[in-house]
């Protein structure tokens, strides 16, 4: 379960603390130091350039980062909307915004750079490579067993729907016998643990008494489950 690292360039403590809750985060106060950290820590996937906190547009820093790190994902934070939209950064954010919006931007880039996006099955804040059996959740890659991957795939393909226990047993274990569902219970506990990041109060994978389970994720205005 390798960690995904973020290099944060800037002074804003709130944004830095928000990233540290979800990722291994290295703090730099200059572009030069950021380059050094990326080269030292090879698991670094995203650079967040908080130019606003440095009192500059950060455009020269961003250009240098892109030049020396052509494959690195970059988020560029401005104090005000830049005059020109051309930027080497992958994501541009303009103050004011919340730490959650920054985390969402980083999550999108982590997902796109970790696994080819065409291979991903996305559902709410989560994504999974069905072919490679790798779950992307909370900034981490989690290797899955075949049964774990099949169970998560079932929930991802039926978001916000109650999935009957008997249906799950048939789909995942190819059996109609429901007299003993301990195997299902064990797998549900495991899925809940990784999706809820250890929380004792499930936010996503809910038990529907007398029926089965439901994976609750945000819904966009167009009716589709959100990926942000």
Place of tokens 């916000």: 160
Q: Is 11:17 a contact under the CB 8 Å cutoff? A: no
What is the bridge-based pairing of β-strands 91-94 and 73-78? Answer: parallel
Res 222 pLDDT > 50: no
Q: Specify whether 34 is located in the same domain as 76.
A: yes
Q: Is 137:194 a contact under the CB 8 Å cutoff? A: yes
Domain assignment present for residue 159? The answer is: yes
Which residues have a Cβ under 8 Å from the Cβ of 66 and sit 6 or more positions away? Answer: 72, 74, 88, 89
Q: Specify whether 102 is located in the same domain as 130.
A: no
CA 110 to CA 104: how far, in whole Å? 10
Q: Specify whether 180 is located in the same domain as 201.
A: yes
Which CATH number covers residue 36?
Answer: 3.40.50.2300
Q: Specify whether 129 is located in the same domain as 205.
A: yes
Place of tokens 């936010």: 203
Q: Which of 81, 114, 147 is the last residue of a domain?
A: 114
Which residues have a Cβ under 8 Å from the Cβ of 36 and sit 6 or more positions away? Answer: 28
Percent of the chain with pLDDT strictly greater than 70: 89
Nearest residue to 32 (alpha-carbon basis) of 13, 2, 9, 54: 9
List, in sequence order, the alpha helices (H) in 115-181: 146-157, 165-173
Domain assignment present for residue 19? The answer is: yes
Confidence of residue 108 (pLDDT cuts 50, 70, 90): confident
26 bridge partner residues: 7
For the chain, give the mean pLDDT. Answer: 86
Domain assignment present for residue 226? The answer is: no
Nearest residue to 58 (alpha-carbon basis) of 33, 82, 26: 82
Q: Which of 114, 129, 149 is the last residue of a domain?
A: 114
Res 200 pLDDT > 80: no
Domain assignment present for residue 227? The answer is: no
Confidence of residue 116 (pLDDT cuts 50, 70, 90): low
Q: Specify whether 106 is located in the same domain as 150.
A: no
Res 164 pLDDT > 60: yes
Domain count across the chain: 2
pLDDT tens digits along 16-65: 999 998 889 999 999 999 999 998 887 788 999 999 999 999 999 999 99
Domain assignment present for residue 172? The answer is: yes
Q: Specify whether 103 is located in the same domain as 203.
A: no
pTM: 0.56
Q: Which of 114, 142, 158 is the last residue of a domain?
A: 114
Q: Specify whether 108 is located in the same domain as 127.
A: no
- Domain boundaries, position 174: 117-215
pLDDT tens digits along 67-102: 999 888 999 999 988 876 667 898 899 999 999 899
3-state SS assignment for residue 217: coil
Six-digit token pair at 175?
């059996």
Res 223 pLDDT > 50: no
Give the DSSP letter of residue 205. E
Confidence of residue 117 (pLDDT cuts 50, 70, 90): low
């Amino acid at each position: 379960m390798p960690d995904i690292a973020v290099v944060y360039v800037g002074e804003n403590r709130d944004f830095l603390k928000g990233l540290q809750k979800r990722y291994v985060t290295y703090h730099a106060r200059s572009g030069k130091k950021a380059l050094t950290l990326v080269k030292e820590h090879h698991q670094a996937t995203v650079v967040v350039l908080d130019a606003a906190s440095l009192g500059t547009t950060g455009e020269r820093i961003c250009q240098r980062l892109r030049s020396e790190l052509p494959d690195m994902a970059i988020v560029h934070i401005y104090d005000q909307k830049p005059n020109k939209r051309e930027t080497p950064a992958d994501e541009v954010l303009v103050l004011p915004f919340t730490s959650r919006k920054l985390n969402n931007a980083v999550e999108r880039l982590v997902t796109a750079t970790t696994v080819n996006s065409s291979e991903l099955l996305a559902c709410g804040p989560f994504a999974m490579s069905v072919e490679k059996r790798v779950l992307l959740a909370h900034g981490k890659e989690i290797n899955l067993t075949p049964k774990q991957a099949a169970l998560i795939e079932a929930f991802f393909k039926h978001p916000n729907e109650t999935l009957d226990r008997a249906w799950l047993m048939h789909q995942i274990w190819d059996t109609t016998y429901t007299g003993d569902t301990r195997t299902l219970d064990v797998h549900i506990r495991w899925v809940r643990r990784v999706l809820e990041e250890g929380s004792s109060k499930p936010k996503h994978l809910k038990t529907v008494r007398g029926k089965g389970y439901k994976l609750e994720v945000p819904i966009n205005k167009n009716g589709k489950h959100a990926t942000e």
